[in-house]
Amino acid sequence: MASISISAQGSEFAPKDSGTTMDESAKPQAKSHPQRKVDEDLPLVHKAQAGDTAAFDELVMKYSQRLYGLVYHMTSNKDDTHDLLQDVFAKAYRSVSKFRGNSTFYTWIYSIAVNMTLNFLKKRKRKAASSFDDVDTGIQNDPAFVDVSHRSNPRRQINIHELQKKLNDAMMTLSEDHRAVVTMFDIQGLAHAEIGKVLGVSVGTVRSRLFYAHQQLRGHLSEFQGSERDS
């Protein structure tokens, strides 16, 4: 619906005999809305909705590694991650007929994974220890956290391993909700707005949770950072 100016000249209620014309530059301009990104998964989704199991399997193969990384960083336990992913994909398959395209398919299945993992963590309330030999998409492979120059320095390599363990231990001290936003933002690279859609919260809430979580992580890592500078 076009907006109506409340000025005497621009209003449709202006006197007919005013004899005044609106300058072109003063006319309200139509707002341009950014084009919505086309979801490249839709053809496969539509086939899956029609009962094509091979199409759904293709979607599972496409996103299983990223979803594994998401769930693992939230649970820090390989067995729990595998069990949860089976449940996530089973629920997604049962619910794919209800997918209406209001978000991308990836955001949709990502939301299922996050919410099921949060429910699992809140129900079990356990903080399992992590084995770094067990990580497939772990933090030690993330260039944002690991300095590749450590390979030529044995002492540096030991410190990096210790940092990885410290990071994991620090992550496990966070609440489930704060761990989720750190995983999505710092490890998976999702934007604030996308995280908000996944969790069903405002961007402001996402930023607030990230700020608090980062403060907590810095506190847990400060001791290690001090010893690193002294070495």
Identify the pLDDT of residue 164. Answer: 72
pLDDT at 161: 66
Digit-by-digit pLDDT tens for the chain (231 residues) are 443 333 333 333 334 444 444 454 445 555 554 455 678 999 999 999 999 999 999 999 999 999 999 999 888 888 999 999 999 999 999 999 999 888 899 999 999 999 999 999 888 664 444 443 444 434 444 443 344 434 445 555 555 567 677 777 888 888 999 999 999 998 888 999 999 999 999 999 999 999 999 998 888 777 655 555 555
| Topology adopted by domain 146-231 | Arc Repressor Mutant, subunit A (1.10.10)
- pLDDT of res. 167: 79
CATH: 3.40.50.920, 1.10.1740.10, 1.25.40.10, 3.40.50.2020. Which one for 39-125?
1.10.1740.10
Distance CA 177, CA 180 (A): 5
What are the start and end residues of each CATH 1.10.1740.10 domain in the chain?
39-125
With helix as H, strand as E and coil as C, how does the chain read? CCCCCCCCCCCCCCCCCCCCCCCHHHCCCCCCCCCCCCCCCHHHHHHHHCCCHHHHHHHHHHHHHHHHHHHHHHHCCHHHHHHHHHHHHHHHHHHHHHCCCCCCHHHHHHHHHHHHHHHHHHHHCCCCCCCHHHCCCCHHHCCCCCCHHHHHCHHHHHHHHHHHHHHHHHHHHCCHHHHHHHHHHHHCCCCHHHHHHHHCCCHHHHHHHHHHHHHHHHHHHHHHHHHHHHC
- Residue limits of CATH 1.10.10.10 in the chain: 146-231
- Please tell me the predicted confidence (pLDDT) of residue 9: 39
Q: In this structure, how many other beta carbons lie within 10 angstroms of the beta carbon of residue 149? A: 9
Residue 161 near residue 145 (C-beta atoms within 8 A): no
**Which residues, in sequence order, are CB contacts of 149 under 8 Å at separation 6+?**
156
- What per-residue confidence (pLDDT) applies to 201? 93
Residues 45 and 60: their CA atoms lie apart, in Å, by 11
The C-alpha angle with vertex 136 and arms to 172 and 212, in degrees rounded to 5, equals 30
Instruction: Tell which residue, 203, 178, 186, 198, has the closest CA to residue 106.
Output: 198
Two structure tokens written together for 228: 């690193």
What is d(CA 209, CA 185) in angstroms, rounded to the nearest whole number? 11
